[in-house]
Amino acid sequence: MTESQQLVQEDDYIDQKRYEIEDRCVDLIATQQPIAGDLRAIIALLHITVELERIGDYAEGIAKITLINGQRASP
């Protein structure tokens, strides 16, 4: 399995982890009612997870293009 194939398969794992982190953050906000700095840190973490998941999606897209181009180049 090439690195591109592995990356395409593992994108679902990245998506799953994003939703797990979001769920934990929401639970934390709901149960602990954080204030000021703690709340800002949780909100920042939510934004970071969205961006990391987006980066993973971009990487998956690049990997798919690499796989398609590799198939075209093969005899």
What is the per-residue pLDDT across 14-60, written as a single tens digit (0 to 9) for each? 999 999 999 999 999 999 999 999 999 999 999 999 999 999 999 99
**Under DSSP, is residue 46 helix (H, G, I), strand (E, B) or coil?**
helix
Radius of gyration of the chain (CA): 17
What is the set of domains in the chain, with CATH numbers?
3-73 (1.20.58.220)
pTM: 0.78
**pLDDT recorded at residue 72:** 65
Q: Is 19 exposed, middle or buried (0-12, 13-18, 19+ CB in 10 A)?
A: exposed
Residue 21, token pair as written in the block: 């982190």
